[in-house]
Amino acid sequence: MSIVTERVKEIQNDIKKHSSYPQKVKLVAVTKYPIVDKPKLEELIENEILDFGENRVQVLEDKRELLGEEKNNINWNFIGNLQKNKVKYIIGYIHMIHSVNRMSIAEEINKRAKNVKRVIDVLIEINLSGEDSKEGYEESDFYKDLPELMKLENIKIKGLMTIAPNTDDEEKVRASFRKLREIKEDLNEKYFNGTLSELSMGMSHDYKIALEEGATIIRVGSKLYS
């Protein structure tokens, strides 16, 4: 058994062990690493991992070219900070954008999606770590923008995303994930009538905690390949 297949099975077992509803959890394979060549991408597909995540538009385009016709089998997820001038390159095929973190990018996605007659699934990125190095809405700013965000007809807000604080303190990491779940529950009660379904949180080093706190999407990269 190769390392990718071994790691996929390990993560799938962790999902069953740590999530209260493993059937709802999706593994997004982060493929930005230079070591992720075509054979590794094909092995992910062979293991029925069809959600790939990239944080740079050019790298996403390169991976699609690398896969050739197989690219059409993949749900491409954009997980990084998206620049307005790059939206046009991915709007025709992107499956989900995890990182809507300001009104201007939401409006650009909406405009470009309307041009190609699509409705794009998005997640709102919220910065709960307080770290300046991380992107994302401040919680209060998000609530201020929410009425206008909900008016955008060519984006569909499916849930929330966050990146945990950079710390070895597991309780601080857990608190961040728990807070995102609480925000989602509040939004479902007050604004979305229960239609927010996704919590994208947890990466290679902390996805088990995220699963315990309600993650429905985990974004795993380095663990899959080493």
- pLDDT confidence bin for 134, thresholds 50/70/90: confident
Please tell me the predicted confidence (pLDDT) of residue 126.
97
DSSP track, 151-164: T-TTEEEEEEE---
**181-200 pLDDT, tens per residue?**
999 999 999 999 999 999 99
| Nearest alpha carbon to residue 217 among 44, 74, 50, 26 | 26
**73-121 pLDDT, tens per residue?**
999 999 999 999 999 999 999 999 999 999 999 999 999 999 999 999 9
- pLDDT confidence bin for 34, thresholds 50/70/90: confident
Average pLDDT across the chain, whole number: 96
Superfamily of domain 3-225: Alanine racemase (3.20.20.10)
CA distance 24 to 102: 28
Please tell me the predicted confidence (pLDDT) of residue 143.
97
The pTM assigned to this predicted structure is 0.96
**170-179 pLDDT, tens per residue?**
999 999 999 9
Where in the chain are the domains? 3-225
The set of residues, in sequence order, having a beta carbon less than 8 Å from that of 160 and lying 6+ positions away, is: 123, 124, 125, 126, 180, 183, 184, 187, 196, 198, 199, 200
**How large is the greatest C-alpha to C-alpha distance in the chain, in angstroms?**
51
Is the pLDDT at 19 greater than 80? The verdict is: yes
1 vs 176, more confident: 176
